[in-house]
A and B are shown apart, each in its own frame.
Chain A
Amino acid sequence: MKLNTNSNIYTIVYSAIVVVIVAVVLALANQVLKPLQEKNEQLDKQKQVLGALKVEYGTQDPAVVYTSIVAAGDTILVCKPNTTDTLEVYKAKLEDGSIKYVLPLSGKGLWGGIGGYLALNEDKNTIYGVNFNHEGETPGLGAKIVEMEFREKFEKKHIRNAEGEVVSVAVLKKGKKAEGKQKVDAISGATITSEGVSKMLENNLAEYAEFLKVVPAADPDDEEVEPNKTEEE
């Protein structure tokens, strides 16, 4: 018997079967590949933190290097202002013994989300290094934020003004002056992505207010950071 492939019943049954098959295949693939994907994501995050800390791992396993620099217990939880959400700050100890704080960032670029990690010196003021990532900025323009040429411009900049207030660092067109804060030259042709980076830094640093409020004492032995008191001028 030849099936009538144009009948209504056939069309409906056929569509249903196709959809079920595709759904099963995709769900199966997702389940099988998920552990691998999560491992990749984790590894990618660790590589980016290492990138912000300017740690070269060469042929070594980045995961091992990461664990040796950022110990498991050294994640500081910070309350987001006016919410109960918490943000993470990674405390890293580099080979030369210096302490750095790594702050995850996230914001908006031109086509999608941008993110990154900001490594601060122990004074919570000087930028030690940055690393940026993006979902889909224009290659050759906005996507340049991931390149060293742009990133190294942030190094040694201060996120505080002379009065010690956190003012972030502005990303502005070459030749323009930032009011009361330090600036980094924007990428020409990528105005919106550059603005996005600027806003991301400003907004995220505001969210870390609780963490940044306490400036560590000059005494190098005093490593404990109590987020709740002191520093009223």
Chain B
Amino acid sequence: MLSQKTKDTLLGPLNVNNPVVVQILGICSALAVTVQLKPALVMGIAVTIIVAMANVIVSLIRNTIPMRVRIIVQLVVVAALVTLVSEVLKAFAYDVAMQLSVYLGLIITNCILMGRLEAFAMTNKPWDSFLDGLGNGLGYAMILIIVAFFRELLGAGQLMGFQVIPQGFYNFGYENNGMMLMPAMALILVGCVIWAHRAYNDKEGK
């Protein structure tokens, strides 16, 4: 259905060219929002939507952008989109907007956005740029969800806010690992994900 090239554009960022574990972008927000699964999930979706939309817009106007101010123009596009999304959320999904609070604004500073705009959208057609944005957003969301899964499970014994580790474990002396709630542990977990990812891909000979 899709040609090999478009397939690579969409699926590459999920594995061999993952923005977080290969390009090491967007680490700061990956540490901040991964204490629980729910904000990580919403953040992943928000970034996916915004990076895809920003990619399309920048790709549409790429031939008109003056080279010397291109970064500023990209930044304005991203900032406008983030503000728009936050306004719409406040009007139609107030609870979600409150939960994301500061992180929503932090999307502007997510390096993945600027990275994709500069590296891809500036030189490619809108449809390809859309797929690239989608792929990178999902690749980012995937890592966030993996890290958040372990942090919430081991740090609070919960998933999506529901208790999954039965009370019986605690009666036997099991304790939640408070370290998991600290940002430092998120960095170590991201490191572990990178390790597993590299080991797997090396074996595959990629």
Contacts and interface: CB of A to CB of B under 8 A. Distances in A.
B171 to A, nearest CB: 18
A140 interface: yes
Contacts of A111: 102
A219 B98 CA distance: 43
B69 A14 contact: yes
B84 A14 contact: no
Contacts of B68: 6, 11
A36 B88 CA distance: 10
A178 interface: no
A67 interface: no
A179 B176 CA distance: 31
Interface string A110-128: 0110000000000000000
Given A36-B91, A40-B94, A140 B35 contact: yes
A162 interface: no
Contacts of A14: 64-66, 69, 73
Contacts of B67: 5-6
B98 A189 contact: no
Contact of B80 (A22, A33, A43, A133): A22
Interface string A26-56: 1001100100110011011000000000000
B54 to A, nearest CB: 13
A139 B84 contact: no
Contacts of B103: 136
A40 B90 CA distance: 8
Contacts of B36: 139-140
B94 A112 contact: no
Contacts of A29: 84, 87-88
Q: DSSP majority for the A interface?
A: helix
A37 B76 CA distance: 24
Contacts of A188: 178
Q: What 6 pairs across the A-B complex have the smallest Cβ distances?
A: A136-B102, A140-B35, A36-B91, A40-B94, A33-B91, A11-B66
A165 interface: no
Nearest to B95: A44
Interface of B: 33, 35-36, 39, 63-69, 72-73, 76-77, 80, 83-84, 87-88, 90-92, 94, 98, 101-103, 151-152, 155-156, 178, 181
B178 A139 contact: no
A138 B84 CA distance: 25
A112 B102 contact: yes
B181 A135 contact: no
26 contacts: A5-B65, A5-B66, A6-B67, A6-B68, A15-B66, A15-B69, A19-B76, A22-B77, A29-B84, A29-B87, A30-B87, A33-B87, A36-B92, A37-B94, A40-B94, A44-B94, A136-B101, A136-B102, A136-B103, A138-B35, A138-B181, A139-B35, A140-B36, A141-B35, A188-B178, A189-B178
Contacts of B69: 11, 14-15
B166 to A, nearest CB: 18
Contacts of B152: 140
Contacts of B64: 5, 14
B39 A139 contact: yes
B102 A15 contact: no
A71 interface: no
Nearest to B73: A18
A10 interface: yes
Contacts of B39: 139
Contacts of A30: 87
A41 to B, nearest CB: 8
Nearest to B182: A189
A11 B65 CA distance: 8
A139 B155 CA distance: 12
Nearest to A147: B161
A196 B118 CA distance: 42
Contacts of B63: 5
